[in-house]
Structure 1
Amino acid sequence: MLISSAYAQTAPAAAAGGGDLMSSLGGMLPLVLMFVVLYFIMIRPQMKRQKEHRSMIEALAKGDEVATAGGVLGKVTRLNESTLHVEIAPGVEVQVQRSAVSQVLPKGTIK
Structure 2
Amino acid sequence: MFATPAYAQTAAAGTTGGPQDLLIQFLPLIGLVVLFYFLMIRPQQRRMKQHKTMLAAIKRGDTVVLSSGMIGKIVRVEDKEVGIEVATGVTVKVVRGMIAEVRTRGEPAAANDAKA
Tell me the TM-score range normalised by the shorter chain: 0.7 to 0.9
- What is the alpha-carbon distance in structure 1 between the residues aligned to residue 11 and residue 64 of structure 2? 72
Change (3 A) 1:12 1:70: closer
One-letter amino acid matched to 2:35 = V
SS in 2 for 1:66: strand
TM-score with structure 2 setting the length: 0.78
Alignment of 1:25-40 (within 5 A): 25-40=23-38
Structure 2 residue 86 is the aligned partner of structure 1 residue 81: no
Structure 2 residue 48 is the aligned partner of structure 1 residue 71: no
- What is the alpha-carbon distance in structure 2 between the residues aligned to residue 25 and residue 34 of structure 1? 14
Change (3 A) 1:22 1:33: same
Greater helix proportion? 1
TM-score with structure 1 setting the length: 0.81
Give the length in aligned residue pairs. Answer: 103
Q: Name the Cα RMSD after superposition.
A: 2.3
Alignment of 1:85-100 (within 5 A): 85-100=83-98
One-letter amino acid matched to 1:62 = R
- C-alpha displacement of 1:22: 1.4
- C-alpha displacement of 1:20: 3.1
One-letter amino acid matched to 2:104 = P
- What is the alpha-carbon distance in structure 2 between the residues aligned to residue 15 and residue 71 of structure 1? 62
One-letter amino acid matched to 2:94 = V
- Aligned-residue sequence identity (percent) comes to 35
- C-alpha displacement of 1:106: 1.9
Q: State the Cα deviation string for residues 24-79 of structure 1 (Å, max 9, x = none).
A: 11100000001111111111111100000010000010111100001111110001
Question: Which ranges in structure 2 are unaligned for 5 or more consecutive residues?
Answer: 107-116
- What is the alpha-carbon distance in structure 2 between the residues aligned to residue 86 and residue 79 of structure 1? 9
Query: Which residue is equivalent to 1:62?
Result: 60
- What is the alpha-carbon distance in structure 2 between the residues aligned to residue 90 and residue 15 of structure 1? 79
SS in 2 for 1:62: coil
